[in-house]
Structures are given as structure tokens and as C-alpha cells.
Structure 1
Amino acid sequence: MDSQPLDLVHHRNLPLLFLQARESVFARFKPILNTAGLTEQQWRVVRALLDHGPLEPRQIGDICRLSSPSLAGILARMDDLGLVLRERLENDQRRVRVSVTPKGQALAASLAPTIEATYRELENQLGVEFIAHLYTTLDEVIAKLGTAADSEDGNW
């Protein structure tokens, strides 16, 4: 039986390119987080809470692209470390609101100068205009394609 190879040469592997770009950028920030004893996922949660204020776990998962089971473990560890506070809502005891603790805020503040310097290095290497265009392009991709939950057909 003759098997025909898949004809994938008409398109570059866009998901792989996004992943490679993400890893290239994240490699600049990983040592900072490692030094602080934070995982990438923990930092995403802290940033989301600092950027948006207290959130419910579902909202954190949506923003940070973390599954509910993963997020439950991450929040439990962060609570144990004193970085976040989980409180039941008064009007609905089934719901929880998560906020950054003063310890979590202090940790973020201590990392801020190094993180800002890393952003400046990226701007110097890639150019301020390029970075601005990249933010705009990424925002457009996200707006036009939606979130992973919107289209989970798994086609690459």
C-alpha cells in the first residue's frame, strides 16, 4: 500500500513558532523567578492578582491559562507559603476570592527592578517599536481567535 506523506509544507508550524518565541522570552525571566523560589505558574497568578485585584479561581485560571486541577494545587501551595489569601465569599460560601498577601506584594516589589531591567534589555535587543507592535499583534491574535476554551478542537 502506497502511503502519501502529509502535505504540511504550505504552512509553517505556527503553534511551534509561538512556543519557541515564548520560551525565548521566558528564558530571560526564569532565573529571576528561580532565585525568588517561584514557579512560572505561581508568578502568573501573582501578576494576575496584582494586575486585576482579588479574583475567583475560575477567573485566575482563565487569565493565567491554568486548568482547574492545576490551579487548585498551585493556590494551596501559595497559600501555605503566605503569598495568597483564599477567603470564602460572605454571600456564597461555595465561592472563594483569592488576593495577594502583603508578603506576596513585598516579593513582587523586590522582583520588580530586575524584571523591569529584563524588559528594558528586551526593548534594547528587539527595539521599542517592535515590542509595541508585538503587543498589538498578540492582542489582535487573542481577540480574533479567542481563548483555548473557545476552540478546543485540537487542530494544529
Structure 2
Amino acid sequence: MTSADRKISRSLPIMLLRGREKVMGPIRAMLADVDITEQQWRVLRVLTEEGAQDPTHIAHKACLLLPSLTRILQKLEEKGLIHRHPDPEDGRKQIVEVTEAGANIIRENLGTSIELTRQLRDQMGADRFELLLDLLNELDGLKET
């Protein structure tokens, strides 16, 4: 291994990307079978788990930029997986909710997603898997500089 390889292997951005690909590769294959993207899956998960939301909250929870979310919501609405309507308290805002068809996609595939995560957890060991989650949550909570 060259010294450049060692530096790359200790690069946080590179290792986060590699870890993301390790986790998301099998999930992408699952999502391809139901014809939705990983971003659409995240939006449907947020709506299924937390109920109807305004787009700003969805963008934050699903780790999406608001302009990207706007396009994603349009596609999900075209597929009949979400419904948008004016906020009853503030007509300038909108509320997004998952439809029965969208909720069905989550219900029918969540078990597979959980199983893929379980397999990864088993490979890493439960303690190390939980430590990784704790460290990533801690990283997420740091103030931006």
C-alpha cells in the first residue's frame, strides 16, 4: 500500500462515501424492484413514520435540499404515492401526506430493508454497529464551523 492509499483510507469524506455505498447498494437493488429512488424512499419513510408534514420538515428529516425535494414530491405525486394540500392554518404553505399506495410500498419493503441492516449489523457485531451509529449521531450534532 502506498502512502497515498493510507491517506485516502483515513479520509473521513472518502470513508463516509464508501460506507454509504456499502449500506445503500443492496437497498438500491430493492428499490429498483419497486421503481422508486432512494430519495423517494426516504420521503415516503418520513411521511409514513411521522405523518403529514410540511416540505421544510420533510427536507430536513430526509436529508434533502428543498429544491430537490420539490422535484421529488412532484414525481411521487405523479405516481400517486403522496398527496399535497394547503395547510389549514396557513394557506401559503402546503402539507404533504402519504397515500395508501405510498404506505404500501413502505410496508411491503420495510422488512427487506430491516433484514439488510440486520445482516450488516451481524457482520460488524452489534456493539460496533451501535457505536458507529452513536458516533455518526454525535458527528451530526456538532456545530458547523
- Please classify the TM superposition score into its range, dividing by the shorter chain length: 0.7 to 0.9
Among residues 99, 102, 107, which one is paired with 1:101 in the alignment?
99
Letter paired with 2:133:
Y
Name the structure 1 match of 2:126: 128
Name the structure 1 match of 2:56: 58
Name the structure 2 match of 1:35: 33
Name the structure 2 match of 1:45: 43
Name the structure 1 match of 2:17: 19
For residues 100 and 52 of structure 1, the distance between their equivalents in structure 2, rounded to whole angstroms, comes to 10
**Higher percent of residues as helix:** 2
TM-score, structure 1 as length reference: 0.81
Deviates more, 1:50-59 or 1:24-33: 50-59
Larger Rg, first or second structure (1 or 2) = 1
For residues 10 and 113 of structure 2, the distance between their equivalents in structure 1, rounded to whole angstroms, comes to 32
Aligned counterparts, 1:82-121, within 5 A: 82-121=80-119
For residues 113 and 44 of structure 1, the distance between their equivalents in structure 2, rounded to whole angstroms, comes to 15
Name the structure 2 match of 1:71: 69
Shift of 1:113: 2.0
Shift of 1:51: 2.5
For residues 91 and 140 of structure 1, the distance between their equivalents in structure 2, rounded to whole angstroms, comes to 35
Once the two structures are superposed, residues 31-78 of structure 1 have per-residue CA deviations (whole angstroms, 9 ceiling, x without a partner) of 001111110110010111122221111111112222222111110110
**Structure 1 residues without counterparts, runs of 5 or longer:** 1-8, 152-156
Count of residue correspondences: 138
**Structure 2 residues without counterparts, runs of 5 or longer:** 1-6
Aligned-residue RMSD, C-alpha: 1.7
Shift of 1:143: 1.0
Give me the identity figure in percent: 31
Letter paired with 1:72:
T
TM-score, structure 2 as length reference: 0.87
For residues 60 and 71 of structure 1, the distance between their equivalents in structure 2, rounded to whole angstroms, comes to 8
Name the structure 2 match of 1:80: 78
Runs (4+) off by over 3 Å: none
